[in-house]
Structure 1
Amino acid sequence: MSEAVCLLLYSFAVVVLAPRPLTRLTHRGVVPQLELVAWLSAIGSVVASWLAVPVIVIAYVITDLAHPGRPVLDSCYAQLHDAATGHYGILVQSGFLALTGFATCAGVVLLGRVGRWFLLARSTTHEHARMVRIAGRHDAGLDAIVLDVAETAAYSVAGKPPTVVVTRGAIAALDHGQLSAVLEHERAHLAGRHHLWLALTRGLAANLSRIELFTLGATEVARLLEMCADDAAARVHGRPAVLRALLTLSGIPEAVSPVLGMNGVDLPARVERLIPPIEPRPGVQARLLLGAVVAVVIIGPLASATLAAIGIAVCAPLPG
């Protein structure tokens, strides 16, 4: 039972302590792929810890019931067992059972809400892709759906099949190299299944809106996914083409400094990182630091459970 307590303590520490340092560490987008892994690892380790706790408790209960002649397997479980059976009085028993029922219901409701959010997002995305294919025309040369509208826009929609959408206005505004960079950016989203990560993180943020790890995490994951797609396009078509395309689609003159107040979510950061730096970016240092963060958040739950399992118990037996 100590393993469950250790996992809860670990997840509480990550939820409270991780969001702000992670935000400061990843805000520049120096290595967006690794920064994305750091956020997803932190979020995933907390969710995995929460899911593991009831499994551990159930396993202890089943093991104890299967061996009724043996002493209770763990002192923590012994205390919980006594509380549930009324050994400490009816008040403690009622409170314990109410808390257990509330926690179980909360977990089931949370899983249901996140699952429903994900299914709704998936259904909406697939329906949008279907409607776009009906409204637009497929351009074999671009391998994309072209919408006959004057607005400059390009985006990708996960569906069956996944679809890249570009407007007539964007095609007219971009030169060949810029248009190719935009299409490569959108294909990188589809190839990396970025829509899946967005749906999962936004689902958690919507249903756990008071937990900063999930709300900040959803925002940072969306920003880093855009930077990953920018880098994928830049590797093929070069940073200048991606930068000019981004500015053109945003309706911003190239002469405008990216540090001025520009509209668009995270657009200044994306533009700034595409401009060649005066000094080399601290890539190696950032990679080492982010690698250490990823290692900690991945190893943390395993280390917590292992230490508890080999005898470093959080709960001690009651005296007497």
Structure 2
Amino acid sequence: MNAATALLGYAAGVGFLAPRLLLRSAWPHRAPVLAVAVWHGLTVSFTLAVALAAHHLAAPAEHLHANLIGVLHSCGLTTATAAPYPTIADRLAIALPFSVVLLMLGCFVYEVLLGRRARSRHRQVLDMVGRRSRHLCATILEHDLPAAYSLPGYKPRVVVSAGALRLLSPGQLEAVLEHERAHIAGRHHLALAAAQAFARVFRRLPLAHHAKEQTSMLLEMIADDRALRRQSREVLAAAMYEMAAAKAAPAGAFAMGGPSAGVRLRRVLTPQRRPHFALRGSVAAAAAVVPVIPLLFGCIPAIG
């Protein structure tokens, strides 16, 4: 079995089977930070597998030698061959994998800029209709419906409506604001942009759909956990219940409600035990190793 076949088989497993196994696991909701790392590790691993498979498919007849140059060539890191001038296959062997990687990076930058532009426009509106509260460290929007959301990134801002201020108790309000601050402090917009970029490139892939959906929900769980450092589960759950009917957040923003509110509410009301240290260590190691596996599939043929 050559490297291209191994890489394509591995990519199929990561793209179709790994999401099903991860969705059936119970630990991601108990360790959302690790779960986000695993989902992103799988997307990076899939991208590298596809890029390296494209390299080997473009140059299937190369006779590699078992030295450093041969290993680098097999890994797709050089196009060195015995021919004095690069052939069309040589050029494709380096252009195709780079195109895959550059496409992913380009889509990530596009998603970041798209979100930044939407948030910038919304901030301009808030400057005209909102008022700054130094006490709350937030912008108050004169609106009767309860709403609270954050605008992360450049010039971050937490926004809360007057309706939410009237509806929530002081403890509930603090929980909501702490939840929104967590999105800003954790730069969650970048993690979400990465998942959205992967879904844009591989939109029909189960891994792309689930990575985007799960990343969004897990980031909200991470923010919930930070709010629990300040308030009790009962207070946070009450705040989530009151804000569940809030309107959807503006483009590029994070809101406490949303489609995952029901799952998160049950999670908050049910005490969560952190996964065992051994499990957390194993998952962290897997998240770090998974992106490297395609390189092994690509390089081992040259070493052997």
**Shorter-chain TM band:** 0.7 to 0.9
2:84 to 48, 57, 68: 68
2:287 to 291, 294, 308: 294
Aligned to 2:303: 310
1:275 to 244, 264, 269: 269
Stretches of structure 2 lacking an aligned partner (at least 5 in a row): 56-71, 247-256
Structure 1 residues 135-284: aligned runs within 5 Å: 135-251=129-245, 264-277=258-271, 281=273, 283-284=275-276
Matched, 1:15 2:15: yes
TM-score (norm 2): 0.75
Larger CA deviation: 154-163 vs 293-302:
293-302
**How has the CA–CA distance of structure 1 residues 239 and 56 changed in structure 2, closer, same or farther, with 3 Å as cutoff?**
farther
Given that 1:6 and 1:308 are in contact with CA atoms closer than 8 Å, whether structure 2 keeps it comes out as no
Distance 1:201 1:180 in 2: 29
Which structure: larger Rg?
Answer: 1
Aligned to 1:46: 46
**How has the CA–CA distance of structure 1 residues 103 and 112 changed in structure 2, closer, same or farther, with 3 Å as cutoff?**
same
Paired-residue identity, %: 33
Larger CA deviation: 18-27 vs 172-181:
18-27
Q: Secondary structure at the match of 2:29?
A: coil
**How has the CA–CA distance of structure 1 residues 142 and 9 changed in structure 2, closer, same or farther, with 3 Å as cutoff?**
same
Structure 1 residues 26-175: aligned runs within 5 Å: 29-51=29-51, 54=55, 59-61=77-79, 63-64=80-81, 68=84, 112-113=106-107, 115-175=109-169
TM-score (norm 1): 0.72
Larger CA deviation: 41-50 vs 114-123:
114-123
Stretches of structure 1 lacking an aligned partner (at least 5 in a row): 70-76, 86-96, 253-262, 312-320
Distance 1:308 1:158 in 2: 45
**How has the CA–CA distance of structure 1 residues 204 and 156 changed in structure 2, closer, same or farther, with 3 Å as cutoff?**
same
Give the length in aligned residue pairs: 274
How large is the RMSD of aligned CA atoms in angstroms?
A: 3.6
Aligned to 2:59: none
The amino acid that maps onto 1:127 is: R
